[in-house]
Amino acid sequence: MGTRIPPWRSGPPCKRKFTLYNAFVARKRFRTDRPLSPGAVVEAPSEEARHAAARRVKPGEAVELVAPDGSFWAARVVSLKPLVFEAAARLTEGGRHPLTILTALPQPNRASFLVEKCTEIGVGRIAPLLCERSVHAPRSPANLVERWSRVAVAAVKQSGSPLPEILAPVPFAEALERFRPLVMLHPGAGERLADLLARRDGPLAVMIGPEGGFTEAEAEAAREAGAETCSLGPGVLRIETAAVVCAALFAARKGKR
């Protein structure tokens, strides 16, 4: 008696590869800014209509929706003009890591990399941090948040990770009052972030300084506010690299608990 070959293994190799790609990778995901519940009918934001046209979706087609809380929902396309979806069932919870990245602004292209990778890893919140030595100050905070949000949404569609909350730029002094518990990354700190995470559980906010580093006055203000100082090792990392390392260390800690 011969062995039954599954359908996706039949046919020429190129056909098999394409079928597997469709089954496991090419999910069509769209964002909605409306809360979802089973049976909810929602109209998508205008930019999602362009995405739908590019992906050639059809009425009645099964898709996934990303809700404002970062959860994923099974849904179907009701209409294309306007683009309307009907939610069916929640697929995943929000599931963001309780990590807030407070980061000085790198160059714009590197900022996109930072947001994209932190989103893929599952960071809960990302906020631009305004420091004394900040070089790339935002001309329009609203435009900055909108741009970072677009990058995060695109990363969510690709990765399936929860959608992070993108916060408005936060002045340094306000960050010290607003976020707890708080860690400042400082090259001269004795303890490494990995060691701190090994002995601590729960949410955390991490401050990443500008290219010139935090000033001594900022470091002293952070200590007086109760923030702990840590390093990522002996080297000096770029802003976006430090953010990704923080996110990865936090995600690894969560996976071990």
Q: Please report, as a single letter, which amino acid is at residue 216.
A: E
Same topology, domains 26-92 and 97-256? Answer is no
Domain ranges in the chain are 26-92, 97-256
What is the residue-wise DSSP string for 85-130? EEEEEEEE----EEEEEEE----HHHHHHHHHHHHHHTEEEEEEEE
**Topology at the third CATH level for domain 26-92:** Ribosomal Protein L25; Chain P (2.40.240)
Instruction: Work out the average pLDDT over 212-236.
Output: 94
**Does residue 184 carry a pLDDT above 50?**
yes
Per-residue pLDDT tens over the stretch 22-44: 333 347 999 998 999 999 999 99
pLDDT at 11: 45
Of the candidate CATH numbers 3.30.420.40, 3.40.1280.10, 3.40.50.300, 3.60.21.10, the domain formed by 97-256 belongs to 3.40.1280.10
Per-residue pLDDT tens over the stretch 109-158: 899 999 999 999 999 999 999 999 998 778 899 999 999 999 999 999 88
**Does residue 189 carry a pLDDT above 80?**
yes
Place of tokens 């905070």: 141
Alpha helices in the chain (DSSP H): 13-24, 46-55, 108-121, 141-159, 172-178, 193-199, 216-224, 239-256
* Of 48, 92, 56, residue with least CA distance to 74: 92
**Does residue 13 carry a pLDDT above 80?**
no
* Of 118, 216, 120, residue with least CA distance to 159: 120
Contact 60, 79 (CB under 8 A): no
| pTM: predicted TM-score of the whole model, two decimal places | 0.76
Close Cβ partners of 212 (under 8 Å, ≥ 6 residues apart):
133, 135
Per-residue pLDDT tens over the stretch 58-105: 999 999 998 888 788 999 999 999 999 999 999 876 566 799 999 999
Close Cβ partners of 46 (under 8 Å, ≥ 6 residues apart):
none
**Structural element, H or E, at residue 165:** strand 165-166
Separation of CA 162 from chain center: 7
